[in-house]
Amino acid sequence: MVSFCKMRECLILLAVAALVGAADLPPSCEKPVYCNSNLLHEVQMARIFNDSKTFVDLQMKFNESKTLGDFQILMNDTNQNPSRAQLEQFVTDYFSNEGELEDWKPSDHSDNPAFLATIKDEELREFGKGINDIWPLLARKIKAEVLEKPDQYSLVPLTHGFIIPGGRFKEIYYWDSFWIIEGLLISGMQETAKGMIENLIELLVKFGHIPNGSRWYYQERSQPPMLTAMVAIYYQYTQDLEFVRNNIGYLETEMAFWQNERAVTVEKDGVNHTLFRYYSVSDGPRPESYFEDYNNTIGFSDEERTDFYIDTKSAAESGWDFSTRWFLVPGGSNNGTITDIHTRYIIPVDLNAILAGAFQQIAVFNAVLLNLSKSYEFAALASDLRNSIEAVLWNKEDSMWYDYNTRDNLHRKYFYSSNVAPLWQNAVSSTFLMANGPKIVSSLEQSGGLDFPGGVPTSLIRSGEQWDFPNVWPPEVSIVVNALANIGTDEAKTLSLEVAQTFVRSCHWGFLQYKQMFEKYDAENPGQFGGGGEYNVQFGFGWSNGAILEFLHKYGSELTASDNNVNGSSSTTISPDGKRRCGKRRSALADDEKKKERKRFLWRTSR
């Protein structure tokens, strides 16, 4: 049985980590051209490309030894100070952007999948068909050249065809893949979904964990561990028990990585609890955001710079890169900037919920496979983690889970869409749910996070970071919708439908206007894409497609594209121009406007 580290061992590890200098840390990956070299530094700091990711996605024309050797000659010939023009010429001579991928048509794609017939509203049925038609546009396979000369690419070669997120993201991304796989399964593309999972398992075998994405420069960091959930939803649609039997060992391997590398002991009310955090330890800036990370550390001491790089990569491991969720200033507030990032001190609600759900699902799989001792083992892990989530992350006064700040021993009492993740992952007991379900619904409604016509924002704080207000991220809307549905009360189910209705309408308006799905949306302006962060909004978009297909599949008989299509069944209303919500959700909210004004005041003053 894989065990968590004991409290004393964890404290020793934390103390050692705090003393480790940059020279003692591993590089971001084993390929210096893309992760840890003068070449990387000089090219990225010269800003040869506006997007730092562009350079590390290029392929080398020659092998690594020649590339680095010839660059050193250039450095020596220029007294270690090459001009921008010389660097541009070197990149032109030694790198290529011909691409590592080729278009691929999945054989299981249908122009008219069965789920469309379940969508009552004709406009939304057409919308669902439009999204289904996007899958072949995002389908890729690795070119033969990458398999022949893998050392000359930052892309990790994989066996099966896959769906990319879209835009600048031309590789598999870990947690994106859950919503992509769900969307594929709804579209009847079981073989493509299976291949996606098998690719992720190949990455797990290669690295010992599933990296952020299928690039070498993501080697030392992972993302929310959704592999078990992917296998579970695949099994739900296919009943392919043999696939589960063949791969359950890999699910257990991934759990061992998180238990051994990301577990911490948290003392609360005199009791020690084992919980998990994001903590990616490697040297230097993120290669794909090298310029941005390096510039943010100007004026830092060596220790501060090392800590910043670790905390930045750890936030990237969370998938929430970046947000005030990871900002921590003296006193425990999130009222800071990117230079106040301290991810290591924050115990995230969603990560722990995901792991609790994974432990429980692995227990169920083992029970089905008659591996009873393993089933008991993982059921105990799930139970222990659920208890720790309740003991440390649940705030009884607010009837909500919050991230926990271990530096100041405080709940992070802010609205983040991730707060309800334990409900999404069924990481709560039925007794707890019966006692607290209605209170959670009330807490959510009072938060103000559900009051926007463009969907549920990740936070209520305008920080300029892309995982803060007003941005709406489709996977987070999915989390909220499913969390509410899992409460089980009529009120919660109604609210779940309304949240889905609002976001589907928003994305539908955007699709009609732009003929595109976006990576993120604007909570205040339905159908408009979000902004902020380190790069421009991306089109595509894998997880957006999957989330909308999920809602159309789940609520297809009830959702409507507009109020003109309503036959008295929907109380969620958006004006024809999609700009605002009109009316109230329920008569019980007669004092809605007063509440909203109070919430608006809180939004303005929360920072």
Distance (Å, whole) CA 553 – CA 333 = 40
- pTM, two decimals, is 0.91
Q: Which pLDDT score, from 0 to 100, does residue 6 have?
A: 39
Residue of 283, 288, 321, 377 with catalytic role: 321
Q: pLDDT class for 571, splitting at 50, 70, 90?
A: very low
Q: Helix, strand, or coil here: 268?
A: strand
Q: Which pLDDT score, from 0 to 100, does residue 533 have?
A: 76
Q: pLDDT class for 599, splitting at 50, 70, 90?
A: very low
Q: What is the pLDDT of residues 109-121, one digit of tens each?
A: 999 999 999 999 9
Average pLDDT over residues 319-346: 97
Average pLDDT over residues 498-504: 98
Q: Helix, strand, or coil here: 118?
A: helix
Active-site residue, 321 included? yes
Residue 400 has phi, psi (to 5 degrees) of: -160, 150
Q: Which pLDDT score, from 0 to 100, does residue 596 have?
A: 45
Q: What is the pLDDT of residues 532-558, one digit of tens each?
A: 877 677 778 999 999 999 999 999 999
Q: Which pLDDT score, from 0 to 100, does residue 538 have?
A: 78
- DSSP codes joined into one string, 330-385: TTS-----GGGB-GGGEE-HHHHHHHHHHHHHHHHHHHHTT-HHHHHHHHHHHHHH
pLDDT at residue 11 tops 50: no
Average pLDDT over residues 243-267: 98
Q: What is the pLDDT of residues 37-88, one digit of tens each?
A: 999 999 999 999 999 999 999 999 999 999 999 999 999 999 999 999 999 9
pLDDT at residue 438 tops 80: yes
Count of alpha carbons within 13 Å of 181, Cβ hemisphere only?
Answer: 29
Q: Which pLDDT score, from 0 to 100, does residue 22 have?
A: 57
Token pair recorded at residue 247: 């791969």
Average pLDDT over residues 99-115: 96
Distance (Å, whole) CA 581 – CA 18 = 49
- Inter-residue contact 286 to 313 (CB < 8 Å): yes
Distance (Å, whole) CA 10 – CA 342 = 18
The kind and range of the H/E element at 521 are strand 521-522
Domain extents in the chain: 1-27+262-399, 31-98, 105-258, 448-607
Q: What is the pLDDT of residues 155-172, one digit of tens each?
A: 999 999 999 999 889 999
Q: Which pLDDT score, from 0 to 100, does residue 489 have?
A: 97
Q: pLDDT class for 566, splitting at 50, 70, 90?
A: low
Helix, strand and coil content of the chain, in percent to the nearest 5, comes to 55, 10, 35
Question: Which of 6-20, 425-439, 515-529 shows the lowest mean pLDDT across its residues?
Answer: 6-20
Q: pLDDT class for 567, splitting at 50, 70, 90?
A: low
pLDDT at residue 437 tops 80: yes
Q: Which pLDDT score, from 0 to 100, does residue 563 have?
A: 85
Percent of the chain clearing pLDDT 90 (strictly above): 86
The one-character DSSP state at 106 is -
The one-character DSSP state at 169 is B
Average pLDDT over residues 132-142: 97
Q: What is the pLDDT of residues 514-538, one digit of tens each?
A: 999 999 999 999 999 998 877 677 7
**Pairing state between β 410-411 and 162-163:** unpaired
**Pairing state between β 139-142 and 162-163:** antiparallel
Query: 520 Cβ partners below 8 Å, 6+ apart?
Result: 466, 471, 472, 473, 474, 529, 530, 537
Burial of 465 (0-12, 13-18, 19+ CB in 10 A): buried
Distance (Å, whole) CA 598 – CA 293 = 37
Burial of 348 (0-12, 13-18, 19+ CB in 10 A): buried
Q: Which pLDDT score, from 0 to 100, does residue 99 have?
A: 86
Residue of 519, 522, 534, 550 with catalytic role: 519
Q: Which pLDDT score, from 0 to 100, does residue 120 have?
A: 98
Q: What is the pLDDT of residues 376-403, one digit of tens each?
A: 999 999 999 999 999 999 999 999 999 9
Q: What is the pLDDT of residues 297-318, one digit of tens each?
A: 999 999 999 999 999 999 999 9
User: Left if phi > 0, otherwise alpha if psi is -120 to 50, otherwise beta: which for 47?
Assistant: left
The one-character DSSP state at 173 is B
The kind and range of the H/E element at 596 are helix 592-605
Q: What is the pLDDT of residues 178-230, one digit of tens each?
A: 999 999 999 999 999 999 999 999 999 999 999 999 999 999 999 999 999 99
The angle, 0 to 180 degrees and rounded to 10, between the axes of the packed helices 372-388 and 241-261 is 50
Token pair recorded at residue 413: 């009492």
Active-site residue, 451 included? no
Q: What is the pLDDT of residues 443-486, one digit of tens each?
A: 999 999 999 999 999 999 999 999 999 999 999 999 999 999 99
